[in-house]
Every structure is written in C-alpha cells, then in structure tokens.
Amino acid sequence: MLDNEEKKEILIPAAEIAAKIKELGDKISEDYAGKELLLVCVLKGAVVFLSDLMRALKIPVKVDFIAVSSYGAATVSSGVVRILKDLEQSIEGRHVLIVEDIIDTGLTLKYLHKNLWERKPRSLRVVTLLDKPERRKVSFTPDYCGFQIPDKFVVGYGLDFNEYYRSLPEICALKKP
Ligand code: IMP
Ligand code: MG
C-alpha cells in the first residue's frame, strides 16, 4: 500500500525545482539559438520534467516519446535495455535532446544514447533532472543536469516507487522502514 507520510522526506522542494528548470531552460535556449530541437522524453518518469522544461525554452521545439524496459537482474551486467515504445519520427539530421528524469547506474542512457546515435542525428545531447553519480556502473556524463543527489531512492515529480508518487510536486527521499 501507499503513502505513509512519515516515510518520505522532502529532498528538493517544488520552488527549487522550478528555479532550476528556468536556469536549464535559459542555458539550453542559448545553446540551441537559431536551431530547431527535438526533445525525446523517456517515459514515464520524465514526463513531468518535460512538460515544465519545454515551457521554459524560448526556441522552437518538437517532442517525441520513447519507452524502455528496465533491465531485469540478468541483464544488468550487459546493460541491454529493450525499447517498449519507439519514436514516431526519424531523427536523422536533427538536433536531438534526450530528456531523462534520473541517471542511476547509467545503463539506460548509455544504451539509449548509442541506439539513437546510430540513427544519425545531427547532434545528440542529454538533459537529466537528477543524477546519482555514486551509483554508476558505466561511465555516463549528462550534458545538462539539474541536481546531483546522494545515493537515496527518490520519488515525486514524475519518479515512482511501484508506480506510486509520480504526482508529488516535490522530490522526496523514501525512508527505509
Ligand atoms: P539507470 O539505468 O540505472 O541509470 O536508471 C535509469 C532508470 O531507473 C531511471 O530512468 C528511473 O526510471 C529509474 N530510477 C533510478 N533511480 C531511481 C530513483 O531513485 N527513484 C525512482 N526511479 C529511479
Ligand atoms: Mg527514467
């Protein structure tokens, strides 16, 4: 069951997230000035971030969505990730920015970056709201990052635990029982 208020603590309040997204929006708008950008949102965790970030951009953007399976225990070492829902459009020759909620081991983005790069975009970068660098199994550095956080399991603002908590407006750490 869900929602035991005392089991969560606020790590990043909503106002701090909003301020950071404005900063990211300004930086990305500046970097892509005069260009058209395709935002590729990684479902489902990044949808809340996407919806705020796209409105903080001052350049023309299009959006598309991709869904990937989390690797099961057997595939962690190989880093193989399965695409559950692919993009609806070709990215060849386009400026593409992957929008992700959190980088943990790095396996998902390592795979996704390679997969999308093989489709010959003109440029390919990654923006993540959160990064847990301590947890990396493969090296991966995002081009843009909102917050580096300690090794804690976080929920809210799109991120889930068993599909719960995505609708929380702030980022919370789940306390172990
Ligand atoms: P990675 O492949 O280990 O880098 O992790 C990628 C995915 O795991 C993220 O896109 C999230 O969906 C999920 N994930 C990793 N850490 C957390 C967390 O603290 N809370 C919720 N989801 C997480
Ligand atoms: Mg994700």
Give the start-to-end residue ranges of the domains of the chain.
15-150
Residue nearest to atom 12 of ligand 1 (CA): 45
pLDDT digits (tens, 9 = 90+) for 26-65: 999 999 999 999 999 999 999 999 999 999 999 999 999 9
What's the pLDDT score for residue 101? Answer: 98
pLDDT digits (tens, 9 = 90+) for 58-117: 999 999 999 998 765 555 556 678 999 999 999 999 999 999 999 999 999 999 999 999
Question: Could you say which of 3.90.550.10, 3.40.30.10, 3.40.50.2020, 2.30.40.10 is the CATH number of the domain covering 15-150?
Answer: 3.40.50.2020
Q: Which bound ligand lies closest to the C-alpha atom of 104?
A: 1
Length of the chain: 177
Residue to probe by mutation, ligand 1, list 70, 100, 104, most atoms within 8 Å of CB: 104
Closest-CA residue to 125 (of 136, 104, 141): 141
* Ligand 1 pocket check for 164: Cβ under 6 Å: no
Residue 8 has pLDDT above 80, yes or no: yes
Q: What is the DSSP secondary-structure string of the chain?
A: ----GGGEEEEE-HHHHHHHHHHHHHHHHHHTTTS-EEEEEEETTTHHHHHHHHHT--S-EEEEEEEEPPP-GGGTTTT---EEE--SS--TTSEEEEEEEEESSSHHHHHHHHHHHTT--SEEEEEEEEE-GGG-SS----SEEEEE--S--EEBTTB-BTTBSTT-SSEEEEPP-
User: What are phi and psi for residue 122, nearest 5 degrees?
Assistant: -70, -40
What's the pLDDT score for residue 77? Answer: 56
User: Cα separation of 39 and 12, whole Å?
Assistant: 24
The residue that leads in pLDDT, 154 or 77, is 154
Residue 155 has pLDDT above 60, yes or no: yes
Closest ligand 1 atom to residue 140 Cα is: 4
What's the pLDDT score for residue 70? Answer: 74
Residue nearest to atom 5 of ligand 1 (CA): 104
What's the pLDDT score for residue 74? Answer: 54
Averaged over 140-166, what is the pLDDT?
A: 96
User: Cα separation of 176 and 154, whole Å?
Assistant: 11
Catalytic residues: 104
Residue 177 has pLDDT above 70, yes or no: no
pTM, 2 dp: 0.94
Residue 8, number of CB atoms within 10 A of its CB:
20
The residue that leads in pLDDT, 69 or 18, is 18
* Ligand 1 pocket check for 112: Cβ under 6 Å: no
Residue 168 has pLDDT above 60, yes or no: yes
